[in-house]
Amino acid sequence: MGQRLAPLFCAFLLAIPAANTLAQERTTDLILGAGATMGFATDEEATESRTGLNAAGGFSLRVIDMIGLRAEAGYIQKGAGAEITENGAAGDLSIEVDYVVLRGLLEIGGDFHILAGATMGRDFRCNVAIDVVVQGIDMSSEHTCDEMDLDRNTDLGVTAGAGYNLGPLGVTLLVTEGLNEIFANDDAPDGRNRTISLVGSVRIPLAG
Considering the domain boundaries, does residue 53 fall inside one? yes
Considering the domain boundaries, does residue 15 fall inside one? no
The whole model's pTM is what? 0.79
DSSP 111: S
**Domain of 145: which CATH number?**
2.40.160.20
Check whether 25 has a pLDDT greater than 80.
no
2: buried, middle or exposed (CB in 10 Å: 19+, 13-18, 0-12)?
A: exposed
Domain count, the chain: 1
**Higher per-residue confidence, 72 vs 93:** 72
Considering the domain boundaries, does residue 7 fall inside one? no
Considering the domain boundaries, does residue 17 fall inside one? no
User: How many Cα atoms occupy the beta-carbon half-sphere of 156 within 13 Å?
Assistant: 4
Considering the domain boundaries, does residue 56 fall inside one? yes
Q: Looking at residue 64, what is its pLDDT?
A: 86
Print the domain residue range for 195: 27-207
Averaged pLDDT score across all residues of the chain: 84
Q: pLDDT by residue (tens digit) across 2-22?
A: 455 455 444 434 444 443 444
Averaged pLDDT, 58-82: 91
pLDDT above 70: percentage of residues in the chain: 82
Considering the domain boundaries, does residue 179 fall inside one? yes
How far apart, in whole angstroms, are the C-alpha atoms of residue 159 and residue 74?
A: 14
> Is-contact 42 29, C-beta < 8 A?
no
Q: Looking at residue 5, what is its pLDDT?
A: 45
> Is-contact 33 58, C-beta < 8 A?
no
Q: pLDDT by residue (tens digit) across 150-190?
A: 999 999 999 999 999 999 999 999 999 999 999 998 888 78
Would you place residue 129 in the very low, low, confident or very high pLDDT band (cuts 50, 70, 90)?
A: confident
Considering the domain boundaries, does residue 81 fall inside one? yes
Considering the domain boundaries, does residue 18 fall inside one? no
